[in-house]
């Protein structure tokens, strides 16, 4: 459940900032398919990667994990 919320939050923030999965993947130094898997709750990213994604989306990790319990 938490992975689903994190993935949806990443997708929402990415789309609000008009960043493609490919661009976010490039900025975070991961494969585009991994970003896709995170957004669809098919992957369990490390806290380190979540921090990197948050930086690339110009938000805090707390903002990225907002409403995740």
Token pair for 17: 């900032």
pLDDT tops 80 at residue 1: no
CA 28, 32, 34, 39 torsion: positive or negative? Answer: positive
Residue ranges in 1-69 assigned as alpha helix (H): 2-16, 21-28, 32-39, 47-56, 61-64
Query: Tell me: the pLDDT tens digits for 31-65?
Result: 999 999 999 999 999 999 999 999 999 999 999 88
Identify the domain containing residue 60 by its residue range.
2-64
Domain count, the chain: 1
- CA dist 45 and 17 (Å) reads 21
What per-residue confidence (pLDDT) applies to 6? 93
The CA distance from 8 to 29, in Å, is: 20
Is position 69 within any domain?
A: no
CATH number at residue 43: 1.10.260.40
pTM of the model: 0.91
| Residue located via tokens 């990790």 | 61
Q: pLDDT digits over 8-26, tens only?
A: 999 999 999 999 999 999 9
The confidence score (pLDDT) of residue 69 equals 72
């Amino acid at each position: 459940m938490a992975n689903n919320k994190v993935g949806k939050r990443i997708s929402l923030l990415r789309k609000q900032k008009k960043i493609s999965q490919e661009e976010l993947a490039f900025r975070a130094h991961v494969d585009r398919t991994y970003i896709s898997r995170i957004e669809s709750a098919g992957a369990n990213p490390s806290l380190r990667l979540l921090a990197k994604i948050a930086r690339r989306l110009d938000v805090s990790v707390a903002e990225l994990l907002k409403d995740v319990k």
